[in-house]
Amino acid sequence: MVKAVVLGAAGGIGQPLSLLLKTNPLITELSLYDIVNTPGVAADLSHIATPAKVVGYLPPDDGLKKALTGAELVVIPAGVPRKPGMTRDDLFKINAGIVRDLATGIATTAPKAFVLVISNPVNSTVPIVAEVFKQKGVFDPKKIFGVTTLDVVRASTFVSEVLGDLSLAPKVVVPVVGGHSGVTIVPLLSQSSHPLPSGFAKEELDKLINRIQFGGDEVVKAKDGAGSATLSMAYAGYEFANKIIRAVKGEKGIIAPTFVNLAADKEGGEALKKEIGSDLDYFSAPVELGPEGVVSIKSLGKITDAETALVKAAIPELKTNVEKGVSFVGASK
């Protein structure tokens, strides 16, 4: 039995993500919550011949509470997306309040659920969820995740393009660490499962790193005012959600980079802080997943001097983003 809930289910990410979740035979109940259109989306998905019972909820009549009752997995893609010229941080003014209110609902109704945060700016919205859970006395850092999987998916795709063989894309694994915005996105290409071509020039490497860091902008620009990545994000969000479900079902050795509170693994978190030379409370690192959530936070391993410099460059923005999320909840008490 797995009950999954999508908050923001009628949106550009919400709809395809809900479709992918509906195809998962391990999900027995799928609740779709949004401020608009969920009855239609739910009716549509409910005709698909897979086990999940799909129900759509709207705010009236305690819709959020009903959607969340009994939830084990909650994915949050609610909130506004970027337009050209905006940073993810520009979304904070609107999305911070949306995420805070949804987190309050989760902390009240489904405090033990796994919470997967997609809404931007992820570097701030994850601390917002955590602070709300702390206020409600139900904080478990092992169960709150910022979804950074799209950066990992992009790294796999772009590396396979450089290798001249897109058929490799599903097999290429590149850890991407740090956070989810511009320079806080740090691809560790030296650890790619498929090494870059020998003699790959430094300018080419810099271009590839920059493309992974700013892949989101590529989509925002191409959509020309109609939003940001939705379909690739739904794919990535599903990939991460499925890892959580597999780990909950007892599969061992599942590791994925994700933005977590480093208290999720005291020993691993402290070791990582030393490694990155910072007292940051949140960082996206490779995390081993298990039935209770985070099993361990892994070391970044052997990285190049250039990658160490990228990690260092990520820290100031990460710190500011995290503090902004934490103080937002403090100020809304």
Q: How far is CA 265 from CA 31, 84, 147, 160, 301, in A?
A: 31, 38, 18, 33, 17
Task: Round to whole Å and give the CA distance between 9 and 181.
Answer: 23
In the 8-state DSSP scheme, what is residue 199?
T
Among 2, 4, 11, 110, binds ligand NAD (CB under 6 A): 11
Given a contact cutoff of 8 angstroms between Cβ atoms, the answer to whether 248 and 143 are in contact is no
Task: Round to whole Å and give the CA distance between 239 and 258.
Answer: 12
Task: Round to whole Å and give the CA distance between 188 and 211.
Answer: 13
Q: Rule CB under 6 A: is residue 88 a binding residue for ligand LMR?
A: yes
Query: Which value, in Å, is the radius of gyration of the alpha carbons in the chain?
Result: 19
Query: 16 or 293, CB closer to ligand NAD?
Result: 16
Smallest distance, ligand LMR to C-beta of residue 219, A: 5
Q: Where are the alpha helices (DSSP H) in 34-135?
A: 38-45, 63-68, 92-109, 122-135
Q: Rule CB under 6 A: is residue 142 a binding residue for ligand NAD?
A: no
Q: Which residue is nearest to ligand NAD (CB)?
A: 11
Q: Rule CB under 6 A: is residue 298 a binding residue for ligand LMR?
A: no
Query: 213 or 261, CB closer to ligand LMR?
Result: 213
Q: Rule CB under 6 A: is residue 115 a binding residue for ligand NAD?
A: no
Query: 17 or 268, CB closer to ligand NAD?
Result: 17
Give the long-range contacts of residues 203-212, CB within 8 A, separation 24 or more. Answer: 204/162, 205/306, 208/158, 208/159, 208/162, 209/310, 211/154, 211/158, 212/151, 212/154, 212/155, 212/158, 212/176, 212/185, 212/187
Q: Rule CB under 6 A: is residue 261 a binding residue for ligand LMR?
A: no
Among 160, 181, 191, 230, binds ligand NAD (CB under 6 A): 230
The stretch near ligand NAD (CB under 6 A) out of 171-179, 222-230, 267-275, 319-327 is 222-230
Q: Rule CB under 6 A: is residue 157 a binding residue for ligand LMR?
A: no
Interacting residues with ligand NAD between 54 and 113 (CB under 6 A): 77-82, 91, 95, 98, 102
The site string for ligand LMR over 48-87 (x = CB under 6 A, - otherwise) reads: ---------------------------------xx-----
Q: Where are the alpha helices (DSSP H) in the chain?
A: 14-22, 38-45, 63-68, 92-109, 122-135, 149-162, 202-213, 215-223, 231-248, 266-276, 305-331
Among 3, 5, 6, 14, binds ligand NAD (CB under 6 A): 14
Interacting residues with ligand NAD between 245 and 304 (CB under 6 A): none
The closest of 148, 138, 169 to 258, measured between CA atoms, is 148
Tell me which amino acid residue 312 is: K
Q: Rule CB under 6 A: is residue 126 a binding residue for ligand NAD?
A: no
Among 128, 129, 150, 311, binds ligand LMR (CB under 6 A): 150
Smallest distance, ligand NAD to C-beta of residue 59, A: 7
What six digits make up the tokens of 74?
């909650």
Interacting residues with ligand NAD between 192 and 221 (CB under 6 A): none
Q: Rule CB under 6 A: is residue 211 a binding residue for ligand LMR?
A: no
| Binding site residues, ligand LMR, CB under 6 A | 81-82, 88, 120, 150, 216, 219-220, 228-229
| Binding site residues, ligand NAD, CB under 6 A | 7-8, 10-14, 33-36, 77-82, 91, 95, 98, 102, 118-120, 122, 147, 150, 180, 227-230, 233
